[in-house]
Amino acid sequence: MANINLSQDDLEALMARALQTALSAQNNPATTPERFMELLGKRMAEFHYNAEEHKIFEEYFDRYSDLFAEDAKILPDDAKVRLLLSKLGQVEYDKYKRHILPKKPKEIEFEDTVSILKKIFGPVRSLFSLRYQALKIQYQSSNDLITHSGLISQGKVLN
């Protein structure tokens, strides 16, 4: 009978610890996903695009990529997208939103969002540089003329 009381005491102690842990987790503001996102957001600066000063999205994301890979890995994909977009300046957010129309930001995966932002807010190449690259293009005999002109139109051979 003492053995049953001992295990009952152990059970009561375990229940008390579980209750204490639950209460402390409830009082901990970082336990809610919204609060966790807010704490992560405070660690990030707002992004403002300026190609002339080389303030491009790729540089910005490189700075915070570990935050998304390690600290925010417990967040679902849509929460990461919301966190990232919340750190865009108003002008940058509006430009992104117009670029992805008719889709909404929540419909695009995190990795795709990063790729789109890198494309929109990347380095600017001058018209002279683009024309010079076009002059350096060599026709590949494996492509017919229509395929080659299509690649040029899409910018595939200019990159």
Q: 96-140: per-residue pLDDT in tens? A: 999 999 999 989 999 999 999 999 999 877 778 767 777 777 777
Range of the domain at 61: 32-120
Tell me: do 66 and 134 sit in the same domain: no
Tell me: do 53 and 113 sit in the same domain: yes
Tell me: do 43 and 97 sit in the same domain: yes
Q: What's the rounded Cα separation, in Å, for the pair 133 and 22? A: 63
Tell me: do 37 and 19 sit in the same domain: no
What pLDDT is stored for residue 159 in this prediction?
A: 46
| pTM for this entry | 0.60
Tell me: do 60 and 95 sit in the same domain: yes
Tell me: do 67 and 48 sit in the same domain: yes
Q: What total number of domains does the chain contain? A: 3
